[in-house]
Structure 1
Amino acid sequence: MTASCPKPIGDKRLTFHNLDWSAFQQIKTLLAPNTRARFTYDHGTLEITQALELHERYARMIERFIQILVMEMGLKLKTMGSTTLDREELDRSAEPDNGYYIQNYALVADHEINLSQDPAPDLIVEVDITHTDLNKNRLYAAMGVPEFWRFNGKNWQILTLTEGEYVEQDRSPTFPIVTKSDLYEFLKVALNDEITAEINFRQLVRTRVQA
């Protein structure tokens, strides 16, 4: 089952090739203060993404989906949003749509994240409605992100890190009580009525937690 929605353009992308880390940082320093774009860099390739309305709505609704699950399941959460994940030693950098610490919450709750000492976020979410030239699976696997969700406007991929590579799963190991169809239904309703979508989903999760 897939989300019942059209496939319009959800984001604009501009790609640069053959840039070293210094050039990437210079471009980012120049452009970042004047744009809401996100910057992703992987071994010389820089992708600048400007999210349009549908991209932003999906990203925010998936975040709400996660927050409801965390609250109703009695978990803890540190939300990173699109915080820059710079890993110069890996020649990689990313600004995901959403990043979260859940399993490792206690390790990072009381301080600002330093990726040279702290673990990578437990869960990263990316909405990629239009084509990306970057291999984001390889990028986040190299960063050691245990769970990576990708949503392209129709399909939800749940990827878990196994021996340095992502393996697609039917359910999230973080939130095993929900299925892919639960997210699709939540997004379908939320695109028309966010409050009803939250009420319905929250009740569904409570029922399953109490079962």
Structure 2
Amino acid sequence: MLLELQRIHVPSGQRVILQDISWQEFETILDELGDHRRVRLAYDDGLLEMMIPLPEHEDDKEIIGDLIKALLEELDIEFRSLGSTTFKKPTTQGLEPDQCFYIQNEATIRGKKRIDLAVDPPPDLAIEIDISSRTHPSIYEALQVPELWRFDQGNLQINRLNFGKYQEVLESPNFPGLDLKQMIPHYLKESKTLGRNKVLKAFRQRVREQIQLS
């Protein structure tokens, strides 16, 4: 399997689809590629997708993650950010979000070095940047992630899990009362010209003003 993987070329921003991959083969691929790798994986009942993100994708992911961390800090909410951790539902689904956060369930997994969805809750919020990757809502639904954000062409779509299926909503269940559909894309765009630090300071001030009005 390792020799076969070494022969597979995945261009940045492109996807390679492998069919009829068993769960054991998926687990083997994860082990052989290791934790420190560029390639991202998504597995759905025998179908394996491999993708290497573009720099633009990674840049947006980091800024959005920083904005959410700043928001949680301003709200004085404990959280744990687990980035692109591999989450699995043996023996059918597995994926690695662009970014994810434990918020409501932070205390439940606090200090844990390994997350096992057989006994641990899924992340409260998962984030996908649809620049060079393809979001897999059906896998997130199978993993029972309560909230999924999708960024596509500068727009933020907020999805809430409702009876096992995602429903698009106007307001984040994790951050009620905040117009994040407008705020997050705005400050993400501003970061392209103003820089990260100035944008984070401005965003924190905006959040404080919102809190005072609520």
For the 8 Å contact 1:130–1:152, the answer to whether it is kept is no
Counterpart for residue 150 of structure 2? 150
Question: Structure 2: which amino acid aligns with 1:86?
Answer: K
Q: TM-score, normalised by structure 2?
A: 0.87
Counterpart for residue 58 of structure 1? 60
Counterpart for residue 116 of structure 1? 118
> Match of 2:204, SS?
helix
Question: Structure 2: which amino acid aligns with 1:185?
Answer: H
Distance 2:35 2:80 in 1: 25
The number of residues matched between the two structures is: 200
For the 8 Å contact 1:10–1:54, the answer to whether it is kept is no
For the 8 Å contact 2:88–2:143, the answer to whether it is kept is no
Distance 2:34 2:16 in 1: 14
Distance 2:17 2:103 in 1: 32
Distance 2:141 2:129 in 1: 17
Identity of aligned residues (%): 34
Structure 1: gaps of 5 or more residues: 1-8
Distance 1:15 1:210 in 2: 49
Counterpart for residue 72 of structure 2? 70
- What's the Cα RMSD here? 1.9
Higher relative contact order (CA 8 A, sep 6+): 1
Distance 2:59 2:35 in 1: 23
Structure 2: gaps of 5 or more residues: 1-10
Q: TM-score, normalised by structure 1?
A: 0.88
Distance 1:174 1:14 in 2: 34
Counterpart for residue 3 of structure 2? none
Offset from partner CA, 1:148-204 (integer Å, 9 cap, x none)? 111123221111000000000112111121331111210111122111111111100
For the 8 Å contact 1:149–1:157, the answer to whether it is kept is yes
1:79 and 2:81 are equivalent in the alignment: yes
Tell me which of 24, 27, 30 is aligned to 1:28. Answer: 30
Distance 1:187 1:201 in 2: 10
